[in-house]
Structure 1
Amino acid sequence: MSDDETTRVTAEREHAESDDNTETDPDTEIEEAERDHGTAANASTRSGLAASDTDHTDGSPAPNAERLQSELEAANERIAELESALASERERADDLEDRLAEKRAEVDRYVERKEAEFEERKAAATAELVADLLANVWGPLDRALDAEDPETLREGVDLTREEFRRVLAERGVEVLDPEPGAPLDRERHTVVRSVPHDEYEPGRVVDVERPGFRIDGAVEREARVFVAEE
């Protein structure tokens, strides 16, 4: 081989080795691509954060401001509903209070009317009783006292007393004036004391200190009596 050919071959070999050295390894290219992608993503993220920061700092509403505004409006509506309900209940309470006042006034008028009617009936009953007593008791008693004969006087007084009982009985009044020897009745009689007595059995009424009376079956005053002791 001549010197010229040797020089040419050597030059071609060096040129080939130079081309081999300039070729890129595939794995290396992939790593470089991933690195470039990560760098771009980081840059995009930083750009987004910067933009977000800009949105918050330049006075634009935050992402949850609309939700808070909606909740505030709902709360205001609920408050308005409650205030309306409260006003209705107050109006209803005022109406009930007015009706109660009217009922109280009606009751007061009713009581006053009944009291007035009672007083009228009582006055009428008193007048009727007095008229009956004057006609049927007072007159016969005067005539009996005018009698000169003691026996006639006694008979007149007895008749007057019976007439008096009749007048009271017609008005629902029963005189509690037990006869001597009558059995003791604890519901009608009050024992003043026990006294020795040979005629009546122990516990029997001997005498009456003060008569009692019943009105319409209810004992208003018990008779005070003496009873035979055991």
Structure 2
Amino acid sequence: METPRHVPQLPLALRSPPDQRLETFVGAPDGAIALLDACASGGANDWVFVSGPTGAGKTHLLLGACARAMAAQRRPAYLSLTSAAGRLRDALQAFEGMDLVTLDDLDAIAGHRDDEVALFDFHNRARSQGANVVYTATARPDALSLVLPDLRSRLGQCIGVPLAPLDDDGRRDVLRQRAQRRGLGVDDAALDWLMRRVGRDLGSLTQLFDQLDRAALAAQRRLTVPFLRETLGREPDARPDS
């Protein structure tokens, strides 16, 4: 019998990024943060299904919920279903007895019957054990290419939290708050420069911003347009919005 391969998951207390907390999320629908906080801390028995396009912040919410559960002395777990596709039953065995289970990117196993059956079985066990589960996907359960009707039905019973991509003001707020939490000075002109010339995808922006943060700290500089041009080596060509 083949030994199950290791499935990457969140080493709970240590690797939940400090920027990815429920209270730092920008642009959540009304009531969504309170709902996830209650689920994570044990204040509610609700199950949640977060849907939205890539870059809308779904993983941020899951990691934030895990951090909140840890603060409430509960046992959380995070799993990217992309990492576990094709062997989900083995992966989910490690989550038995957890208080909060967050499962990211349900799209990765949609259409794979064995994985869907494994998730259906896990869903029922976790419900009977009183655990909280939060799912994410790019679309609502009724719009996913699931082949197991019973799984679609179970997921449809979760409370839906739809996310929309942030507009430019929201992206600026995310970057500005990151700078403030780090004690880093940033000019509005620098944020505009990044968004015009590097792109508006929030995941790419925050990743690059973290690199610039380290460079600015080492140089004891503010994030200004001249510093960006100097650090990036050249001024990138403007990219169209996606």
Q: TM-score range by the shorter chain?
A: under 0.3
Larger RCO of the pair (alpha carbons < 8 Å, separation 6+): 2
Comparing both structures, which one devotes a greater share of its residues to helix?
Answer: 1
Structure 1 length as normaliser, TM-score?
0.21
TM norm structure 2: 0.20
Structure possessing the higher radius of gyration over alpha carbons: 1
